[in-house]
C-alpha cells in the first residue's frame, strides 16, 4: 500500500529504533486504514484502500543470498507454525476451527471443545500447559501446527515449540481484540523474535461488542518496535478473526464465512522450512512422550538429510558425547493422529521410537557423518519450594478408608462369589498400588523423572535426606507438578514458595515482574493501595473503552506477588484480573509483609464438633465444618488478627442432669474452601501444605516450632 507524502523524506524516532518513510514497512498495508497512534499524529499520510489479496514483504525478504552460500533450499509443500498468545486469547479454540474446516474429523464425529487440551488439568483450568503437535492439509500444502501455552510459567514448553518449528521459520501471534498485547504476549513474542521468527498477527475475538482492532494493532506494532524487531519482522500481515465462529478476513468489518484468509496468509506469508536435503541426518529432540508398548518417543523436526525406519543412528549431546541406536518405528503427524511412515524428509516433524534413553535436547544424527545441533536453552527458574515426606498423623489413613469403602460397595453387587472375589481383589491391589508412594525414594524418583521432559525445572537435595528443593519459572509451574503427583497417588508435604535471589558484585538482586491488573474503577483505590504495600511501582494506567475498567501496569518484586492473587480478588470483590511476567533481576527492594493475619491452629487431635466450631468462628474464618478429623498443629482457619491462635475445635458439650428450658440453635458459617493454589499462596515460612490423593491440608511446621522454642 503506497502513501502520499512530501518530496522530502522525514525521519522520526521510536523507542530503541529510528525509522524513515523509506523503510519498507511503511510501503505496505499493515494496519487496516490507519498507522500506529505514535506515527499518525506526526505525518499527514494518506492510505489507499485495503487490497483484496495478501502480499507479504516477509516472504520476499526471506529470499536472502545467504541461502545459496549455505546450500540450503526451501520446501514449498510444507509449513511449520507455532501459535502463540496470552492466556485465554483463543489459541486452542482457533486450532479447533482450523482442524474442523480442514476436514480432519468426520461430519458425524463428536468433537469436544478445545480438542488440543487433552490433559485433565488443562481442561479443568481452561489453560494450555503442554505444547502439542497436529497437522492439516490446505491446497496440497501440509501445515504442521504446534499449540503452545500462553502462560510465562510454562515458557520451557514455548521455547521447545519454537525449536520444533524451525530456527528461522515463522509463527502465528494472536491478540485479543479488546485487551490487546498482554504480559504473556510480550513474553512469547520476545521469544519468537529472538529465534528469528516473523509473525502473522491474528486479532481474535473480533466479534466482541467492545472490540477495538485499531488500538490493538497499533499496540502490537509498538510492542514489536520495543522488542527490537527487524524491519522484515515488523512487516507483519494482520488477519481479523473469530476463532469460536471459525471466520477470518482482512478487515474487521468484512469477515469471510470461513478461515480461508488465515490459511492463505499462512501459505503466502510463511515460507517453507530451510533444509539441507543432501546433508547428513540431523534431528533435534524437542519433546518426549511415553507409551507403554512403544517406550520413549522422541518428537522433533528433521533439519537435514532423511530419517528411515530401521536406520542405525548416532545420538549426540555434544561432539564428544555420542552413542549409537536404531530407529524401530517412525511416525508423522497427519490430521489429529500419528501415522506410521517409512521415511521422513528434512523439514517435516516426526516421532521416533526405539531409542529408550534419549533426552530432550539431544540430536539424532547420521551414524558416520552426523554432528549435533545446538542444544535447547531455557531461562533460569525464579521460584523454589521444598518437597518433603509426609509426616502428619494422617499419612496413609485415607488410602485404607477408600479401599474398605469400595470393598463393601462391591459386596452389594449381584455377582456370584467367584466373580466378586476376583473383582474385589484386583481393585484392592490397584488401590494399594496407586496410594503407596509415600517414601523419600518414591518422591525422589518422581521428581527427577520430571526433569526428563520439563527443562525449565530443577531439583536439588535439601538439608535432610527426605527433603528436596524444586525450582520453577513460577508458582503455577510448580503447582501443576504438585497436582499431577497427587493424582498419581503420591503423599508429601510442600513448603511456601521462595524467590531465587542472586548476588552480583556483592549486591543482592531479586527477580522483578511486570504485573498488569484489569479492575473496575470503583475498586481501583483499594487495589492501588495493596500493590503499593507490596513495593509495586506503577508506570502505566489507562481505561479500557466502554467497559468501565482500568488497566494498571506495575513493576513489582516477585516476593510481592506471593499471595497477592487472593488479596486482590478480596479487595476488588472478585472482579480484578491479574497477570504477571518475569522482567529482570534488580536490587533488593526491602522487606515486604505479604500477610497481616495469623492462623487458627487445632489444639488437639480429634473430630470437630458443631459446639466447638460455634464459638471458634468468632475468632476468624474457618476451613473446616463439623465431623472432620483434625490433628494437633493443623491450620483450621484464618485468625482475624495478626499472630496465631490455638483452638479446641473438638470440644464436646458437657452432659449434665440439668436441662435448659430452651434448646440453643447452632448456626455455623460456611467454611472457606481453599484449592491447592490458594493453600500455596496462603502459607508462611513456618507453615506447610500436606498433599494427599484425596485431601489438601495446611499445618504448622513442627521443625519451625522446635526452633522457636
Residues 6+ apart with CB under 8 A from 641: 597, 598
Query: pLDDT (tens digit, 9 = 90+) per residue, 405-418?
Result: 443 444 333 333 33
Host H or E run for residue 410: helix 397-411
Q: Per-residue pLDDT for 151 more than 70?
A: no
Query: pLDDT (tens digit, 9 = 90+) per residue, 577-590?
Result: 888 878 889 999 88
Query: pLDDT (tens digit, 9 = 90+) per residue, 657-700?
Result: 656 655 567 788 899 989 898 899 899 889 999 999 989 999 99
Mean pLDDT of 181-191: 69
Predicted local distance difference test score (pLDDT) of residue 166: 54
Q: 629 falls in which pLDDT band (50, 70, 90)?
A: very high
Of 329, 331, 328, 363, the C-alpha closest to 350 is 331
Angle formed by the axes of helices 183-194 and 155-165, nearest 10°: 40
- Residue 29, helix vs strand vs coil: coil
Whole-angstrom distance, CA of residue 110 vs CA of residue 112 = 7
Q: 622 falls in which pLDDT band (50, 70, 90)?
A: very high
The sign of the dihedral angle between the CA atoms of 169, 175, 180, 181 is negative
Least confident of 90-94, 419-423, 690-694: 419-423
Whole-prediction pTM: 0.74
Mean pLDDT of 521-540: 89
Distances (CA, A) of 71 to 58, 68, 278, 304, 362: 21, 5, 10, 11, 24
Q: 375 falls in which pLDDT band (50, 70, 90)?
A: confident
What percentage of the chain has pLDDT greater than the value 90? 18
Predicted local distance difference test score (pLDDT) of residue 153: 64
Whole-angstrom distance, CA of residue 652 vs CA of residue 658 = 16
Mean pLDDT of 301-312: 89
Whole-angstrom distance, CA of residue 199 vs CA of residue 30 = 12
β partners of residue 470: 385, 459
Query: pLDDT (tens digit, 9 = 90+) per residue, 269-293?
Result: 887 887 787 888 888 888 888 887 8
Residues 152, 127 contacting (CB under 8 angstroms): no
Of 225, 232, 157, 154, the C-alpha closest to 190 is 225
Query: pLDDT (tens digit, 9 = 90+) per residue, 199-234?
Result: 788 888 888 777 888 888 888 888 888 888 888 778
Amino acid at each position: 500500500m503506497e502513501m502520499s507524502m512530501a518530496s522530502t523524506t522525514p525521519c522520526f524516532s521510536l523507542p530503541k529504533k529510528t525509522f524513515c518513510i523509506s523503510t519498507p514497512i511503511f510501503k505496505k498495508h499493515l494496519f487496516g486504514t490507519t498507522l500506529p497512534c505514535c506515527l499518525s499524529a506526526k505525518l499527514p499520510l494518506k492510505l489507499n484502500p485495503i487490497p483484496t489479496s495478501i502480499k507479504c514483504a516477509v516472504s520476499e525478504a526471506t529470499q536472502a543470498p545467504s541461502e545459496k552460500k549455505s546450500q540450503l533450499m526451501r520446501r514449498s509443500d510444507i509449513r511449520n507454525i507455532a501459535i502463540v498468545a496470552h492466556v485465554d486469547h483463543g489459541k486452542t479454540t482457533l486450532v479447533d476451527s482450523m482442524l474442523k474446516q480442514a476436514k480432519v474429523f468426520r461430519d458425524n464425529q463428536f468433537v469436544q471443545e478445545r480438542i488440543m487440551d487433552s490433559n485433565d488439568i488443562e481442561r479443568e483450568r481452561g489453560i494450555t500447559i503442554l505444547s502439542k503437535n497436529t497437522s492439516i492439509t490446505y491446497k496440497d500444502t501440509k501445515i504442521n501446527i504446534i499449540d503452545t501455552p500462553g502462560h510465562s510459567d510454562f515458557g520451557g514448553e514455548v521455547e521447545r515449540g519454537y525449536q520444533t518449528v524451525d530456527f528461522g521459520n515463522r509463527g502465528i501471534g494472536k491478540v485479543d481484540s479488546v485487551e490487546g498485547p498482554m504480559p504473556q504476549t510480550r513474553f512469547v513474542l520476545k521469544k519468537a523474535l529472538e529465534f528469528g521468527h516473523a509473525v502473522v498477527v491474528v486479532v481474535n475475538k473480533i466479534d466482541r461488542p467492545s472490540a477495538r482492532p485499531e488500538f490493538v494493532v497499533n499496540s502490537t506494532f509498538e510492542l514489536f518496535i520495543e522488542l527490537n524487531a527487524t524491519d522484515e519482522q515488523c512487516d507483519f500481515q494482520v488477519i481479523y478473526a473469530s476463532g469460536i465462529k471459525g471466520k477470518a478476513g482482512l478487515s474487521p468489518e468484512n469477515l469471510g464465512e470461513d478461515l480461508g484468509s488465515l490459511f492463505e496468509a499462512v501459505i503466502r506469508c510463511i515460507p517453507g522450512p530451510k533444509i539441507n536435503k543432501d546433508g547428513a541426518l540431523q534431528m533435534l529432540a524437542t519433546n518426549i512422550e511415553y507409551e507403554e508398548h512403544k517406550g520413549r518417543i522422541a518428537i522433533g523436526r528433521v533439519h537435514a538429510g532423511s530419517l528411515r525406519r530401521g536406520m542405525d543412528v548416532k545420538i549426540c549431546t555434544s561432539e564428544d558425547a555420542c552413542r549409537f541406536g536404531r530407529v524401530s518405528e517412525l511416525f508423522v503427524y497427519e490430521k489429529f493422529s500419528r501415522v506410521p511412515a517409512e521415511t521422513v524428509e528434512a523439514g517435516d516433524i516426526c516421532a521416533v521410537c526405539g531409542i529408550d534413553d534419549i533426552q530432550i535436547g539431544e540430536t539424532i544424527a547420521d551414524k558416520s557423518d552426523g554432528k549435533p545441533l545446538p542444544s535447547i536453552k531455557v531461562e533460569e527458574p525464579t521460584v523454589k519450594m521444598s518437597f518433603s515426606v509426609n509426616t502428619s498423623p494422617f499419612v496413609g489413613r485415607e488410602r485404607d478408608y477408600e479401599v474398605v469403602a469400595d470393598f463393601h460397595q462391591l459386596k452389594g453387587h449381584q455377582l456370584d462369589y467367584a466373580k466378586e472375589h476376583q473383582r474385589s481383589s484386583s481393585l484392592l491391589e490397584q488401590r494399594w498400588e496407586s496410594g503407596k508412594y509415600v517414601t523419600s525414594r518414591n518422591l525422589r524418583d518422581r521428581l527427577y523423572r520430571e526433569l526428563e521432559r520439563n527443562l525449565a525445572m530443577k531439583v536439588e537435595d535439601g538439608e535432610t535426606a527426605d527433603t528436596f528443593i524444586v525450582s520453577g519459572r513460577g508458582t503455577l509451574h510448580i503447582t501443576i507438578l504438585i497436582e499431577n503427583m497427587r493424582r498419581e497417588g503420591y503423599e508429601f508435604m510442600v513448603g511456601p514458595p521462595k524467590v531465587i535471589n542472586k548476588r552480583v558484585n556483592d549486591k543482592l538482586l531479586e527477580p522483578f515482574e511486570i504485573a498488569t491488573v484489569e479492575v473496575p474503577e470503583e475498586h481501583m483505590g483499594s487495589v492501588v493501595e495493596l500493590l503499593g504495600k507490596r513495593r509495586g511501582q506503577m508506570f502505566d494506567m489507562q481505561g479500557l473503552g466502554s467497559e468501565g475498567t482500568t488497566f494498571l501496569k506495575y513493576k513489582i518484586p516477585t516476593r510481592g506477588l506471593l499471595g497477592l492473587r487472593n488479596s486482590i480478588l478480596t479487595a476488588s470483590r472478585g472482579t480484578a484480573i491479574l497477570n504477571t511476567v518475569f522482567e529482570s533481576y534488580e536490587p533488593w527492594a526491602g522487606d515486604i509483609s505479604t500477610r497481616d493475619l495469623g492462623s487458627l491452629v487445632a489444639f488437639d487431635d480429634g473430630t470437630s464438633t458443631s459446639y466447638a466450631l460455634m464459638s471458634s468462628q468468632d475468632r476468624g474464618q474457618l476451613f473446616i465444618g463439623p465431623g472432620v478429623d483434625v490433628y494437633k498443629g493443623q491450620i483450621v482457619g484464618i485468625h482475624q488478627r495478626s499472630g496465631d491462635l490455638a483452638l479446641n475445635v473438638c470440644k464436646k458439650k458437657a452432659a449434665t442432669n440439668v436441662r435448659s428450658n430452651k434448646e440453643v440453635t447452632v448456626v455455623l458459617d460456611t467454611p472457606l474452601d481453599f484449592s491447592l493454589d490458594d493453600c500455596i499462596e496462603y502459607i508462611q515460612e513456618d507453615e506447610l501444605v500436606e498433599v494427599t490423593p484425596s485431601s489438601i491440608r495446611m499445618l504448622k511446621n513442627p521443625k519451625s516450632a522446635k526452633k522457636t522454642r
